[in-house]
Amino acid sequence: MANSAPSGANSWNAGVIREFRANGGRVGGALADATIILLHQIGARSGIERITPVGCFPQGDGRFAIIASNGGSPRHPDWYYNLKAHPRITIELGTETFTVVAEEVDDDARAELLSKAIAERPEIAGFQARVTRKIPILMLTRQD
């Protein structure tokens, strides 16, 4: 009989999602100091809803920057492609759930946001250093 438990990143994500929901949007470990959101997105090819925990950088005006670093992987994360295909999504932040629209920022905004993100989370600098791709930044804008 096949094991239906998620493996790899899916298993890690499932654990973060459980912890996030059990603790009002807070998680521990390496993510304890980060602002985490849960992205409810639709698969670009599959059309299946996915939920992914992602670190974000609140802008204080109903907007949230997210960085598609994929941990310094050579490929963009799947959620990036999903948001490009279906930019109107739902996110969970703390105990709130609301709709946002995702839009990739231009190069000038990207440079400014990346600088601020690195000041807050220095490990992000290492992600860009490990890859030849330009790591995209998307802005999520609250819709309600």
User: What integer pLDDT is reported at residue 8 of this predicted model?
Assistant: 59
Q: Show the domains of the chain with their CATH numbers.
A: 8-142 (2.30.110.10)
pTM score, whole prediction: 0.89
Band the pLDDT of 120: cuts 50, 70, 90: very high
pLDDT in tens, 92-107: 999 999 999 999 999 9
Rounded to an integer, the average pLDDT of 11-38 is 94
Nearest Cα to Cα of residue 55 among 70, 71, 37, 41: 37
User: What integer pLDDT is reported at residue 136 of this predicted model?
Assistant: 96
pLDDT in tens, 25-36: 999 998 888 999
> What radius of gyration, in Å, describes the C-alpha atoms of the chain?
15
- Better-scored residue on pLDDT, 121 or 96: 96
Nearest Cα to Cα of residue 93 among 62, 119, 114: 62
Rounded to whole angstroms, how far apart are CA atoms 23 and 20?
A: 5
pLDDT in tens, 34-87: 999 999 999 999 999 999 999 999 999 999 999 999 988 889 999 999 999 999
Rounded to an integer, the average pLDDT of 128-135 is 90
